[in-house]
Amino acid sequence: MDADPLEKRLAAAQKTIDALMRRVEEKVGSGESAFAVLEQNIALEHVVREKTRLVEAQRKELEDALAHLRFAQAELVQAQKLESVGRLAAGIAHEINTPIQFVSDSVHFVRDAAKDALGLIQAYRELRAAVGAGTVTPAQLAALDAAEEQADVAYLMEHVPKALARSVDGLARVATLVRSMKEFAHPDKKVKAHADLNRALATTITIASNEYKYVADVETSFGELPGVLCHMGELNQVFLNVIVNAAHAIEAAQQGKEGRGVIRVETRTEGEDVVISISDTGTGIPEEIRGAIFDPFFTTKDVGKGTGQGLSIARSVVVDKHGGTLTFETESGKGTTFHIRLPIDGGARGAKAA
């Protein structure tokens, strides 16, 4: 092989390498530092790539954890709703049993009255047949008098309509309780829907009646409200928690005293929000614990009567899920008012601003 062409080619390659080195040296100063920079860049790329992979993995873990947390929170809200229904079930059963009892009594009375009335009607029919045949006898007239006395027509005319009215009222009361239970316990939809908060509050007041009826009267002042975009089932739980807490506070304040307390529920519109205020004439919240009442598991109630989850969940539902606020005003020994402020648009305005 001819060495000259090979040497020429090697020389040309060397010139090319020298030219590349000069260009690199122009950028970074020297050939040695150029290789060092290249090595550092390559190492840095590896580090960045590894860090990016770790960050992506951590982001995925956080997303999974957040999804699990949201699911757990939804499960907790539903579990507390079922717990509330279970706790109130005995009282609701009693509330249903009372009207059912006087409906039953009224129906039995009307049944017995109908028997007497049918006997009287039969006597009249026999008398009419005898009159038509011209064979009326004193015995038939005496039988008619006996049937009227047995039926006690004046008494029936006075009391049968009352018994029927009581039955209608009792059945309406049962229907209201059942409808309220159905609306309260109905599972929430996945997305928010427009709801009538005044109706929801009335339903919750009905459901909670056994908690307060022995210690307090409920006064309502419902303003004109638009439909509010919300998770109604979760807000029902918020309303129930606050009303039951109000009843317990009044019960504690009334121990050893005569008279009854008052729970007042008011609704109104303020700008683009609706405000629900629930007041009680209970013990008030002591100053030293006011900063902790929304903390999970914090409770001042006896063991078995409170889990410390009610107000914590209420705040999460109002603030986190609806973009609203849950605040309170209180005075020791005089009572507490909770203010629930909810955006009519379900928090979309705040989400856009964020």
CATH number for the domain spanning 215: value is 3.30.565.10
Could you tell me the pTM of the whole model? 0.63
Q: Are 265 and 201 in contact (CB under 8 A)?
A: yes
Beta-bridge partners for 263 = 218, 280
In a domain, 299, yes or no: yes
Confidence band (pLDDT; 50, 70, 90) for 225?
very high
Highest mean pLDDT of the ranges 107-111, 167-171, 267-271: 267-271
Beta-bridge partners for 307 = none
Q: Read off the pLDDT of each residue in 256-262 and give the average, rounded to a whole number.
A: 87
In a domain, 232, yes or no: yes
Q: Read off the pLDDT of each residue in 95-118 and give the average, rounded to a whole number.
A: 84
Q: Using one digit for the tens of pLDDT, what is the confidence trace for 37-52?
A: 666 667 777 777 777 8
> What pLDDT sits at residue 93?
77
Cα–Cα distance, 15 to 19 (Å, whole number)? 6
Q: Read off the pLDDT of each residue in 221-230 and give the average, rounded to a whole number.
A: 94
- Cα angle 36, 41, 43; round to 5: 95
Q: What is the mean pLDDT of the chain?
A: 80
In a domain, 295, yes or no: yes
Cα–Cα distance, 337 to 292 (Å, whole number)? 16
247 to each of 35, 139, 205, 243, 300, how far by Cα in Å? Answer: 79, 67, 11, 6, 14
DSSP one-letter string for 48-81:
HHHHHHHHHHHHHHHHHHHHHHHHHHHHHHHHHH
> What pLDDT sits at residue 13?
66
- Cα angle 179, 162, 154; round to 5: 165
Q: Is the pLDDT of residue 2 over 70?
A: no
Beta-bridge partners for 280 = 263, 336
Q: Are 209 and 173 in contact (CB under 8 A)?
A: no
Least reliable range by pLDDT among 30-34, 98-102, 224-228: 30-34
For 67, list phi and psi in degrees, rounded to 5: -65, -45
Report the share of the chain in percent with pLDDT over 70. Answer: 75
SS3 2: coil
User: What are the tokens at 321?
Assistant: 């899920």
In a domain, 343, yes or no: yes
Q: Which domain holds residue 286?
A: 189-354
> What pLDDT sits at residue 236?
87
Q: Using one digit for the tens of pLDDT, what is the confidence trace for 297-318?
A: 656 655 445 544 678 888 888 9
> What pLDDT sits at residue 303?
47
Q: Using one digit for the tens of pLDDT, what is the confidence trace for 167-199?
A: 888 888 888 888 877 777 666 667 889 999 999
Radius of gyration (Cα) for the chain, nearest Å? Answer: 40
Cα–Cα distance, 342 to 279 (Å, whole number)? 17
In a domain, 124, yes or no: no
Phi-psi region of 140 (alpha: psi -120 to 50; beta: other; left: phi over 0): alpha
> What pLDDT sits at residue 179?
81
SS3 220: strand
Q: Is the pLDDT of residue 112 over 80?
A: yes
Q: Is the pLDDT of residue 329 over 90?
A: yes
Q: Give the total number of structural domains in the chain.
A: 1
Strands 261-270 and 228-230: unpaired
In a domain, 262, yes or no: yes
Least reliable range by pLDDT among 65-69, 228-232, 260-264: 65-69
Cα–Cα distance, 352 to 354 (Å, whole number)? 5
Cα–Cα distance, 324 to 339 (Å, whole number)? 10
For 217, list phi and psi in degrees, rounded to 5: -105, 150
Would you give the end-to-end CA distance of the chain in angstroms?
A: 78
In a domain, 180, yes or no: no
In a domain, 337, yes or no: yes
Q: Using one digit for the tens of pLDDT, what is the confidence trace for 57-90?
A: 888 888 877 777 766 666 666 666 666 666 677 7
User: What are the tokens at 150?
Assistant: 């047995």
